[in-house]
Structure 1
Amino acid sequence: MIKFNRNPVRGVFLLVIAATSAQEDYCDPDLCDPGEPHVGCNNPNEPSRNCPPGDDTKKFVFTDAEKQLLVDLHNEYRNKVAKGELDWLPKAANMVAMSWDDDLAYLAELNSNQCAANHDKCRNTKKYPDSGQNIDTMITNATSVKTEDAIRDLVQGWWDERHEANAKMVKKMYKPSPNVKVLHFTMLTRDIANRVGCGMVQYKKQGWIWINLVCNYSYTNMLKTPIYAQGEPCSQCTSGCDAKFDGLCNTDEPVDLS
């Protein structure tokens, strides 16, 4: 998922709707570019026709521990980049530690309801007018898959794209060649993307178990802008360094998402 900067300078469905999500009008035309449908507009939060019926489809309702795992995996990988553990990429001066956001998670769940690993056209909110998204799928012939194992495997898939990133891209994001898979990694490491929320679905298809993970972010990849500011880790953080991931700014670091 990538876009141009408007301001140049990824069974049983439980209908869990965050109260704050229900209060926002996702049909507001100002949320999306002209002609782009919002994933939340008139969406009943039910499985689509793409999903197998009955118990062949299972919606994951993340526990607090699973939400924290998703956040920690993102921050672990961000911390590695910020501290210069990837020697072909520069260190990050003010990459912010991520935290969970229920609104982003709700919209990610709506996407996962489709049982198809396709990016939605728009998932923006008033708070996050340029929301990003990562999607990935794992396919297995195992009879069951632990939620934690699926989360780790899928997020690592985005991290594995790091070998396609380079310092030129960090300095000024450009559109990679069609055969280069790197945009999940650049989304994972966007410095001011400080909030994340995810949804996940499992379904049976052609005798296999398919698991789709969708994560939405408070900011997205922007062409012609830096992925992150270069410098010594945490050197430009105004709120101090995160206690757990000391190469990152605190989660309350001020960011400009406009």
Structure 2
Amino acid sequence: MRFRNSLLLFMGLVGLSWACDDPKYAKYKDKNHVMCEKPPSCPWELRVKELADYDKRGLINILNNLRSIMATGKTPGFPPASNMQQLTWDDELAALARRALKQCDYEKINKYFFDFTVERFNVSQYTDQFSGTYSLQNEKFAKIPDFTRNIYRRAFDNTYAAKHLAKYNPSHNLQKARGFTLLLWARIKYVGCAYQNAKFNNAKEELDRRTLICLFGPAGNVKDEPVYEFGEPNCQRESTKFPGLCVTEEAEQKFTEPGCKNDPEFYKRYGAILCESKEKLYKWLGNELPYEHETCTDRWWHSRETDAKLSFFVSAILLTAIYAYFITRIQIRIFLV
């Protein structure tokens, strides 16, 4: 009897731990961990993709370029960062992102219902979606680079003012700005993403919803913590690939060159963005912004400093002339009186 009870208890514990697809996530089951939620059947056609290697390289290079631009102070209105880390692709985070998309529940995804904790750290979620119509013969709609550029654009629509970077406050951060502050969160080192097509058929065309989920770790957007430390880059080990970013030995070893010269598929999709000059990258990022993008290089700042000095000098001369004019008028009146 005792043996049978022990066996039943053991089987119950095993069954409990395997309630999640992977037993290592069972301890997070009560937090609605995504690996412990069983994917339902979808009422529409759903395609969840593991990103191809060229998309992983393209995505990680675009994100690191964005962080580099911010860290080196090349974005007007935002101070440079002294401690921003270089991002490394993480397969575990990518697997969790794919699992979330397979849940076929946009409401839960958009309301941050799922937990993505891993043993190494807590995880933050960023989600972006494009909806519209497209022809089966022409799928040029919301590709991977479009999602990453969308994150950067949100720096310029006043969703999160630079003055709040020193002390993060969720009340100042609208839903659509979360990705921007995650992009800038200095201590984040890992990212993994998944991409989904969902198609809804009607009589004439297919309605298309494309979703990208990126998971970042260690988690960002922590209340009262700085998004990043202000100051010129000050790293124990600075990246040789992305100026201004701090890098670990592990990140350097895992870094893979984009593939501009030896990967035709990569060049086809990302060549115009990542394989040409930095100016072309900046122009692509600034496309459709409410004002023309200018790269804030040392030369740019020097020209603005010169303009400011000249304006000050001219203003000083004008003010002196006006002052002298009124003083002279006053003296003449006193003399006449």
TM-score normalised by length of structure 1: 0.76
Contact residue 50 and residue 98 of structure 2 kept, 8 A: no
Q: Which of 1 and 2 has higher RCO (CA within 8 Å, sep 6+)?
A: 1
Query: Residues 202, 171 of structure 1: CA spacing in aligned structure 2 closer, same or farther, 3 A cutoff?
Result: same
Contact residue 75 and residue 97 of structure 1 kept, 8 A: yes
Superposition RMSD on alpha carbons, in Å?
A: 2.5
Match of 2:90 among 82, 95, 101: 101
Map of 1:229 onto structure 2: 229
**Do residues 152 (structure 1) and 123 (structure 2) align?**
no
- Report the Cα distance in structure 2 between the residues aligned to 1:178 and 1:217, rounded to whole angstroms: 17
How far residue 179 of structure 1 moved from its aligned partner, in angstroms, is 5.4
Map of 1:18 onto structure 2: none
1:171 alignment partner AA: A
Match of 1:124 among 117, 123, 133: 117
Map of 1:209 onto structure 2: 208
Map of 2:24 onto structure 1: 25
Q: Find the structure with the greater CA-based Rg.
A: 2
- Report the Cα distance in structure 1 between the residues aligned to 2:43 and 2:149, rounded to whole angstroms: 25
Query: Residues 50, 159 of structure 1: CA spacing in aligned structure 2 closer, same or farther, 3 A cutoff?
Result: farther
Map of 1:5 onto structure 2: none
Contact residue 88 and residue 166 of structure 1 kept, 8 A: no
SS at match of 2:187: coil
- Structure 1, unpaired ranges of 5+: 1-20
Match of 2:102 among 102, 113, 121: 113
Query: Residues 176, 156 of structure 1: CA spacing in aligned structure 2 closer, same or farther, 3 A cutoff?
Result: farther
- Report the Cα distance in structure 2 between the residues aligned to 1:243 and 1:26, rounded to whole angstroms: 36
2:87 alignment partner AA: M
Moved more, 93-102 or 204-213: 204-213
SS at match of 1:137: strand
Higher helix share: 2
Alignment of 1:71-90 (within 5 A): 71-90=60-79
1:120-146 deviations in Å (ceiling 9; x for gaps): 331111102x21110011123222536
Contact residue 204 and residue 210 of structure 1 kept, 8 A: yes
- Report the Cα distance in structure 2 between the residues aligned to 1:107 and 1:251, rounded to whole angstroms: 24
- Report the Cα distance in structure 1 between the residues aligned to 2:181 and 2:210, rounded to whole angstroms: 22
Identity %: 26
- Report the Cα distance in structure 2 between the residues aligned to 1:132 and 1:179, rounded to whole angstroms: 16
**Do residues 167 (structure 1) and 171 (structure 2) align?**
no
**Do residues 140 (structure 1) and 137 (structure 2) align?**
no
1:138 alignment partner AA: F
Contact residue 105 and residue 197 of structure 1 kept, 8 A: yes
Contact residue 22 and residue 35 of structure 2 kept, 8 A: no
Map of 1:62 onto structure 2: 51
- Structure 2, unpaired ranges of 5+: 1-19, 252-337
